Amino acid sequence: MVPAAPGQAVALVTGAAQGLGRATALRLAADGFVVAVNDVADDGRLTDLAGQIGGLAVPGDIADPDAVTNMTRTVIGRLGRVDTLVANAAAMEMGPFLTQDPQIWWRQVEVNLSGHFRVIQSVVPHMRGAGGGRIVLIASGWGVIGHPNATAYAASKAGLIALAKGLGRELGPQGILTNAIAPAYIDTEQLRVDAADLGITLDEMRQRYRELVPTGQLATVGDIAGAVAFLAGPGGSAFVGQVLQPSGGVTRTRA
Amino acid sequence: MSAPDCSMPPVALVTGAASGIGAETAALFRRRGWRTAGIDLRPSDTDQSVQCDVTDAAAMRAAIDGIAAKAGRIDAAVSAAGYYEEGIDVCDISRAQWDSMLAVILGGTVNTCAAVLPHLMARQGGTIIAISSELALAGSATDLHYVAAKGAVLGLVKSLAAELAATPIRVNAVAPGPTDTPLLAADSLWRKPDYLATLPLGRLVRPDEVAATVYYLATEGVMYCGEVLSPNAGAVI
C-alpha cells in the first residue's frame, strides 16, 4: 500500500465488511477512489476486500474514541488524505421502547450517531487542509418516518439527518459537502436476521418488506452505493445538507 | 407500435431544450451516448429538434408521438420548459401573468407527462423528471405565481409517482437552487452578492450540476419514486 497517487481521491467507508458498506467500497473503488475500509473487527473479510480493491483495511470500533483516532491516523499515514467519508456502520437491535435493555438502546446511538460524530471530528481537519471534502451519512427511512420497536435506531438515524443538515450549513462554506441518504428496505444480510427474529423464511421476509414499498421492490446494495457515488462524485457538487431518499416511494421527500 | 430496437441507444426527450438547464441536460445525455429530442419554442441542439409550445396539449401529443415514431422509443422525459418573473408584488400579479405561468410550468409538465406516458406504458419502462425549484420548497416573495406553479409541479410529481408505483415507470423532480441561466436577469435578486453570501456554498448553481442530477435519476434512479432531489447550493436545507 502506497499513498494515493496525486489527484487520486481517498474514501473512508465505515461498516464495510458486508452489505451496503462493502458494495459502497467496491463502487467507489470502481469510480477511481482509493478506499479505506473499516468495520468493528477484521474477521478476514475486511482484509480480503481491501486486497480486492487495492485499498486499506482499518478495523476498529467507532464507538471507541481511541480506536477512531487510530483509524484516521492510519488512513492519513498510509494514504495521505481523506476526501470522502461514508458513515455507514450501524448497530441495530429491535425491541419495545419500555423494555429494551438501556445498554442495548444506547449502544445503537453510541455507534450510529456518536461514533460517526467522532469519525467526522477526526477527518474534518484533513478535509479542511485539502480545501474541501464530501461526507455522506447513511441514515434510514425509519429515521424519517419512524418504526415500532426501533426507537433507538430511528433516533440515531434521525440524528444523522439533523447532523447532515447542520454540518451542511457549518462546513459547506469551507467546501466540505455533507449530505445523507435515507434508504428504506434493502436486500442485505440484515433480512436474514429479521427473518430469524420472526421465524419465517428469507423469501417470506423479502415479500413482507416488498409489500411495504409502493414500488414493490427492495433496493439492492448497488442502488444505494450508486447514491453514495453520486454524492461523492463530480455530479454531487451542488448538494449540501440534503437527504436523498431512494426508498421506492416509502418516504417521498419527507425528510 | 414497433418493438424497441435494443441495438439503438436510449432516447431522452427534453422540453425547454434550447437554453439553460434544458440545453445543458440534453447536451449531457448526448455526451453519454443517448439520442436526444428537444421541444422548445426555438430550435434546440438535439438529434430531433421540434419547435412546439408546451402549453398546447394537442400539439405536444403530436410532437411527442412524432418523436417516438421516429426514434422508436422514449426512455427519459425531462420537463424543463419554463420562464421566470420576479419583483412583482402579489397584488400586482395580473390575471394574464398568473395564467401564463401556470400554463407553461404546470400545464407544460402535465402535457409532457400525458403525451409521453402512453409510450412509456407501452414498453413498461422509463422515467419522467420534472424540473421544479427550491423556491417551491421554502417559499419566496415577489414571484408568487412562479412559486405556486413550481409547487404544483411537486404535487403532480409525487402523486403521479404514487399512481405509477406498481409499474416500472418512475416519476421524480429536481428542485435546483438559483441557477446561472439566461432566466436569471443580470439584475436579479438571486445574483446579488448579499443573497449569495447567505448560501452555504456562496454561489449560484451551475446548469451542468442540475443536468448531472437529472442524468443520475435517469440512469441509477430506480429506487426513487416521487422524490425531489435538490442541487441547491444549500438554499433549502
Judged by a CB distance cut-off of 8 A, whether residue B1 touches chain A is: no
Residue B163: its chain A contacts at CB < 8 A? none
Q: Residue B106 pLDDT > 90, yes or no?
A: yes
Residue with cell 455526451: B31
Mean pLDDT of B184-197: 96
The predicted-structure confidence for B28-79, as pLDDT tens digits, reads as follows 999 999 999 999 999 999 999 999 999 999 999 999 999 999 999 999 999 9
Residue A240: its chain B contacts at CB < 8 A? 200-201, 233-234, 237
Judged by a CB distance cut-off of 8 A, whether residue B84 touches chain A is: no
- How near does any CA of chain B get to the CA of A215, in Å? 5
Q: What is the pLDDT of residue A93?
A: 92
Buried b (16+ CB within 10 A) or exposed e, A212-225: ebbbebbbbbbbbb
How far lies B124's CA from each of B11, B37, B115, B119, B121, in Å?
Answer: 15, 20, 15, 8, 5
Considering A153, A165, A185, A209, which one is annotated as catalytic? A153
> What are A179's three cell numbers?
449530505
Q: What is the pLDDT of residue A1?
A: 52
Alpha carbons A88 and A231: distance in angstroms, whole number: 14
How much is the mean pLDDT over chain B? Answer: 96
Q: What is the pLDDT of residue B3?
A: 47
Q: Do B225 and A248 touch (CB under 8 A)?
A: yes
Q: Residue B5 pLDDT > 70, yes or no?
A: no
Q: What is the 3-state secondary structure (H, E, C) of A47-85?
A: HHHHHHHCCEECCCCCCCHHHHHHHHHHHHHHHCCCCEE
Mean pLDDT of B89-99: 96
Q: Do A223 and B223 touch (CB under 8 A)?
A: yes
Q: Do A242 and B230 touch (CB under 8 A)?
A: yes
Q: What is the pLDDT of residue A56?
A: 98
Judged by a CB distance cut-off of 8 A, whether residue B223 touches chain A is: yes
Surface of B (139-158) touching A: CB under 8 A: 158
Q: What is the pLDDT of residue B175?
A: 98
- pLDDT classification of B6: cutoffs 50, 70, 90: low
Judged by a CB distance cut-off of 8 A, whether residue B217 touches chain A is: no
Query: Phi-psi bin for A19: left (phi > 0), alpha (psi -120 to 50), beta?
Result: left
CA neighbor of A123 nearest in space, from A160, A173, A81: A81
Residue B200: its chain A contacts at CB < 8 A? 168-169, 172-173, 240-241
Q: What is the pLDDT of residue A255?
A: 80
Minimal Cβ distance to B225: which of A214, A237, A240: A214
Q: What is the pLDDT of residue A2?
A: 55
Which residues of B are tagged catalytic? 146
Specify the pairing of strand B48-51 against strand B76-79: unpaired
Minimal Cβ distance to A216: which of B166, B216, B229: B166
How far lies A147's CA from each of A79, A141, A152, A186, in Å?
Answer: 40, 9, 10, 15
* A157 labelled catalytic: yes
Mutate to test the interface with A, among B181, B223, B237 (most CBs of A within 10 A): B223
Phi and psi at residue A89, in whole multiples of 5°? -55, 140
Give every residue of chain A whose pLDDT is below 50, as ranges. Answer: none
Minimal Cβ distance to A215: which of B165, B212, B234: B165
- ipTM of this predicted complex? 0.92
Q: Do B233 and A247 touch (CB under 8 A)?
A: no
> What are A13's three cell numbers?
467507508
- pLDDT classification of B1: cutoffs 50, 70, 90: very low
How many CB atoms are closer than 10 A to CB A199? 7
Q: What is the pLDDT of residue B137?
A: 95
The predicted-structure confidence for B113-171, as pLDDT tens digits, reads as follows 999 999 999 999 999 999 999 999 999 999 999 999 999 999 999 999 999 999 999 99
Judged by a CB distance cut-off of 8 A, whether residue B197 touches chain A is: no
- pLDDT classification of B2: cutoffs 50, 70, 90: very low
Judged by a CB distance cut-off of 8 A, whether residue B232 touches chain A is: yes
- A124: Cα separation from own chain's centroid: 17
Q: Do B230 and A214 touch (CB under 8 A)?
A: no
Minimal Cβ distance to A172: which of B222, B225, B234: B234
A161, closest residue in chain B (CA to CA): B237
